Structure 1
Amino acid sequence: MAGHSKWSNIKRKKGVNDAKKSKIFTKLVKEITVAARSGGEELNPRLRLAIQNAKGANMPKDAILRAISKASGHEAAAYQEVTYEGYGTHGVAIMVVCMTDKIIRTVANVRAIFTKYGGSLEKNGSITFLFDYKGVFTLPTADIKDQDAFALALIDAGAEALENDEDATHVICAIEDFGRVQKYFEKLAIAPTAAGLEYIPHTFVQVSDAALLKLVKLIDALRDDDDVQKVYHNIDIQPEQEDLLG
């Protein structure tokens, strides 16, 4: 299945420097809490998805239940999702998805991080043209018994691409087909380890080793911020540069 041929590499390498484990659960709790505002799991696709992602990250069941219960409180009502766009050094494009209860604080922190590492925060719409906004499901490759049959069925369900990297398989679809693909997985009783809408770059930038190390510091600093949920970039990391990310 054609399209987004570099997603697997970007996804795998992006994960090397993801936020620390303690931060991951905090971000998942925030997403569950906000999603639960729209109702119970049965009629709430966003909440089902948030719970599924939490389980995929091995988040304890009692922590998931506590996050859902927080939805009726003031804290959940205050959160809103915002996206910021910026450039790192060497023209690397960076998308930053945040969930915040105070936009003034969040934008100030994000701008300060960009500035500290030689980047710049830009106006919304400045770099979105470098990315496609797609649905992405990730599942263990071992769960797929027949790759060919699986791929053909996914095409019928609306998937655009099916890519493998090491132990994981990534299924990519258009936003409007996300629900159909999700129902296909539910029908087969397959629970992806992660699922959601992602910014996938279609224009990439290669950088030197020195530039990559500086850019990684910028990306890591953004991911470590409490208000930041996800960070996407268009760095074309070369195989020989992978050791730099260890």
Structure 2
Amino acid sequence: MALPARAVILACDDRSSAQAFRIGGSAWGLWFQLEPEATAVDGETRAALRAWEYRLPARFAALVAARAEHTATRAFFTQRAGAWEDRFAYQTPAYDAAVAGMELRRGQTALDLGCGTGRAMPALRAQVGGEGTVLGVDVTHTMLTAAARIGCTDSGHLLLADCARLPLPSASVHGIFGAGLIDHLPHPRRALREWARVSAADGTLLLFHPSGRAERAARHGRPLSPDEPLAEPNLRPALDATGRRLAVYDDAAQHFLAHAVRTH
């Protein structure tokens, strides 16, 4: 089967023309031969093809389900990306103050995970200097487009990626900054394990929000839940499990800040 232009194969069977593919980020296709002609293949091959007839749709469905975890996040931020920086630029001094507490050194590598419009990137660049590396990572394309439009590429590189599956080598990052990120992740502990994987031995992690947990809960008209991943009884053991120690936990009215350092 000749695939459409720009198609990316997701799964295929080398003994037949079975294929699953995508085009761009939202168009998906599935094609496979259900019934091989009796004279075309022997009995063993026919049985294998029949088995594949069930495996291919199952693998395709699993892939779609995994990607769908980000659908709600992308939908929420896509429609707000254009006005995001105009609306929240006043928070920049709070971001700068939070980043200052990371105490990164010149020449190191820093990530702004869930960077949005890249508000923390200039402060990260100031710490690591021109010889260092700053990456702004986000799963929403329109947010990165907005970041580029306001000049954040002057401070570092922008990367479209899932922050729980980073395309980075192990032990390559010295500082990870995440503002308002954990609450949007479907599997926070999985993400913390991935951040531990890419962190260097002296790596530091700063989780931040320009308002406290209680204030955010009240703003959204809900009670403060003890099950939230940023609640200290939940966050501390989750960090411990990834080889990090929670050095600072500050859930104030004006901000949330959790600073963790590597223990091994």
TM more than 0.5: no
Structure with greater contact order relative to length (CA < 8 Å, sep ≥ 6): 1
Look at both structures and tell me which one has the larger radius of gyration over its CA atoms. 2
TM-score, structure 1 as length reference? 0.29
- TM-score if structure 2 supplies the norm length? 0.27
